[in-house]
Structure 1
Amino acid sequence: MLPVFDGHNDILLRLQMAPRRREAIWLTGEGRGHLDLPRMKAGGFAGGIFAIYIPSPALPGAPDYDAMMDHPPYEIELPAMIPLGVAQPVALAMAGHLLWMERASAGAFRLCRSVAGIEAARAEGAIAGVMHMEGAEAIDDSLDALHSFHAMGLRSLGPVWSRPTIFGHGVPFRFPGNPDTGPGLTDAGKRLVRECNQLRIALDLSHLNEAGFNDIAALSDAPLIATHSNAHAITPSTRNLTDRQLAMIRDSGGMVGLNFATVFLRSDGKRATDCGWEPVLRHLDHLITHLGEDHVGFGSDFDGAAIPDGIGDAAGLPRLIAALRGHGYDEPLLRRLCWDNWMSVLRRTWGG
């Protein structure tokens, strides 16, 4: 079984929403969601990037967003910026869940801060986890909290989830649409980029609008990484990357993790999960064509989205790999997609 490193998941949100059940959710599994230790082991999920994400408050009278995504076209209204005082306690709690996952796993899971640490965990049979922040609402304008979270293990950060932050602007969930949806980084956002470069924290472009993407490309000295994004040319969602953006990522020595979310895979933009392998194969073929075989991997969005029935959950990763093998991907390419490309880009970003 090929080991898989995954660029994005949201299990910390599941734990945050049900903290009293976290032992069952993480250690033994409840048959819900996409991730738990037993299914990760069964599917060869050997490492991944674990997102701290501040959930949006419910909007009064909000429609059924899942139903909207079942029937494109759609545009989902996003809530306003979440204040630091609201976001920071939630982010600290979610970081605590990740630290607890390591302690509770009795050696089966390890929080890692370097590529050497990830590779050592894999060699010793432990699943490697990397702390990520999806939307920097918990970081203050002075960036002091960035250093605190870095000391806790933060090694990857997206300046925004699709809501605005003091650092920049995300893309709304719109289909069809394009990522050119508003202004770029704020002055604070530009300082955040420079500080992340100094700390060697990877910058995630996946939820940024086009102007913010361009600003990071101009400012950052690190490879451009989109941890969980797909090809706009195939699925014209605001969340997907144009061929121009893919070329910029390629030229920086960067990386794109294929997002398993059906709304970003299906050419019709629908959420329905009975889509077969064709959308996955089309996006991967396109990404490999435009980025090259050394700059593509997986960024599942497990526990954060509806995914194809063929994958199902983390235990279904071998079915995905079998489908890629049947599509003609050879073993060296499969090893790069599953593991090696992520290790290479993280080594280029973090050093060592």
Structure 2
Amino acid sequence: MTSPVVFDGHNDTLLRLHMDGRDTAFDAFLAGAAPGHIDLAKAKAGNLRGGLFAMFPPSPRGGLDFSRMPAGGYEMPLPAPLERTVAEAATISMTSILFRLERASEGRLQVCRSVADIRSAMNAGAMAAVMHIEGAEAIDADLKMLDVLFAAGLRSIGMVWSRNNIFAHGVPMRFPSSPDIGEGLTEAGERLVARCNELGILLDLSHLNEKGFWDVARLSDAPLVATHSNVHAICPVSRNLTDRQIAAIAESKGLVGLNFATAFLREDGGMDADTGLDVMIRHLDGLVERLGEDGVALGSDFDGAVIPAPIGDASGLPKLFEAMERHGYGQALIDKIAHENWLNLLERTWKLLKG
């Protein structure tokens, strides 16, 4: 088969570069020698031509310890809330990294602010990078920083990572577990939803607890979107979506991006690279069954999780599509899941940004 063009709903590449902090890591991304899941060469090999580039302000002690997510069960407490000054500094750093990559890439990576920009970059063979926040701690309760980031190009926000903040409550990494943990949106969170609707900014429901999910569903006039989440009925981890949540996303004509993180794929909940593509296909089948062919896409979590060894990194994306074809997915459906559904969803959500 011809490997399709891919637009991916979530990566943590900017976080990886921010945490490394060395010019050599920056140069390696451009040269195609980076140790992570994505660099320009790996992306080209996998036909990864665009995606939401997350700016995630890490907790002071760093990221998750994946060794604490074994098969069978675990319960990791929520990290402490993050101070806004710390989150703001990290978010500005990652924004700067993205703009520096754009300048240094000589057209091979382009920051996109509309679907027209994305299509133009893809048609030129460039990586179409969309600014996304994962955890809105850098934004103040009066939403002044939101206006600044929107002007810079921010087009998508996950209100929380798995950490509470002034807007909402996240879910801890817990298996097995319902996502019904903690309270819903705060008053500031409700104002953030309204302002994002006004600007046309996508609201990402991944990492949000169930009460917060239903608050957004009640308040938002945009399609509901979980950029990188899977089916709770298959893998009952707190981060995945229940059938009732998926039904609400379907009713809104929204979208779910398949998360490649093995702890959110496997029935035993383990963060283990020894995971077959058949497990990913099972979640895709479940999402298509519940959402229809227009509501399913990809949200890899590249550079932010342990992914199945058969894929390895962005260059291995064609192996997933080959598995989908062997399973009976036609080229039209594969193209929808690979990029068309994302672009359609963004066109409907970025209502003020059509170009």
Separation in 1 of the partners of 2:28 and 2:232? 34
TM-score (norm 2): 0.96
- Residue 26 of structure 2: aligned partner: 23
- Residue 16 of structure 2: aligned partner: 14
CA contact (8 A) 2:71 2:268 kept: no
CA contact (8 A) 1:57 1:79 kept: no
Separation in 1 of the partners of 2:341 and 2:157? 19
Separation in 2 of the partners of 1:199 and 1:93? 24
Separation in 1 of the partners of 2:159 and 2:49? 26
Tell me how far 1:124 sits from its aligned partner.
Answer: 1.3
Q: Does 1:52 align with 2:55?
A: yes
Tell me how far 1:23 sits from its aligned partner.
Answer: 2.9
Separation in 2 of the partners of 1:254 and 1:67? 34
How is 1:215-226 mapped onto 2 (pairs within 5 angstroms)? 215-226=215-226
- Residue 246 of structure 1: aligned partner: 246
- Residue 87 of structure 2: aligned partner: 87
- Residue 269 of structure 1: aligned partner: 269
Q: Does 1:142 align with 2:132?
A: no
Match of 1:6, SS state, is: strand
Q: Which moved more, 1:268-277 or 1:13-22?
A: 13-22
- Residue 186 of structure 1: aligned partner: 186
Tell me how far 1:71 sits from its aligned partner.
Answer: 4.0
Q: Which moved more, 1:227-236 or 1:10-19?
A: 10-19
For residues 251-286 of structure 1, the C-alpha deviation after alignment (integer angstroms, 9 at most, x for no partner) is 101000000000000010011111211210110000
How is 1:1-352 mapped onto 2 (pairs within 5 angstroms)? 1-20=3-22, 21-58=24-61, 65-351=65-351, 352=354
Separation in 1 of the partners of 2:128 and 2:25? 19
For residues 207-264 of structure 1, the C-alpha deviation after alignment (integer angstroms, 9 at most, x for no partner) is 1000000000000010001000000000000000000000100110100000000000
Q: Which runs of 5+ in 1 are unaligned?
A: none
Separation in 1 of the partners of 2:34 and 2:83? 35
CA contact (8 A) 1:175 1:237 kept: yes
Separation in 2 of the partners of 1:109 and 1:345? 22
Tell me how far 1:19 sits from its aligned partner.
Answer: 2.5
Partner AA of 1:238 in structure 2: S
Separation in 2 of the partners of 1:210 and 1:201? 21
CA contact (8 A) 2:10 2:53 kept: yes
Tell me how far 1:31 sits from its aligned partner.
Answer: 4.8
CA root-mean-square deviation: 1.3
Match of 2:69, SS state, is: helix
Q: Which moved more, 1:16-25 or 1:138-147?
A: 16-25
TM-score (norm 1): 0.97
Match of 1:70, SS state, is: coil
CA contact (8 A) 2:25 2:34 kept: no
CA contact (8 A) 1:15 1:25 kept: no
Tell me how far 1:350 sits from its aligned partner.
Answer: 0.3
Partner AA of 1:28 in structure 2: A
Partner AA of 2:18 in structure 1: Q
Separation in 2 of the partners of 1:305 and 1:249? 25
Separation in 2 of the partners of 1:196 and 1:189? 10
Partner AA of 2:91 in structure 1: A
Match of 2:319, SS state, is: helix
Separation in 2 of the partners of 1:71 and 1:245? 25
Tell me how far 1:25 sits from its aligned partner.
Answer: 3.2
Tell me how far 1:56 sits from its aligned partner.
Answer: 1.2
Separation in 1 of the partners of 2:181 and 2:270? 21
Partner AA of 1:5 in structure 2: F
CA contact (8 A) 2:262 2:269 kept: yes
Separation in 2 of the partners of 1:280 and 1:317? 12
Tell me how far 1:73 sits from its aligned partner.
Answer: 1.0
Match of 1:171, SS state, is: coil
Q: Which runs of 5+ in 2 are unaligned?
A: none
Separation in 1 of the partners of 2:321 and 2:79? 38
Q: Which moved more, 1:255-264 or 1:275-284?
A: 275-284
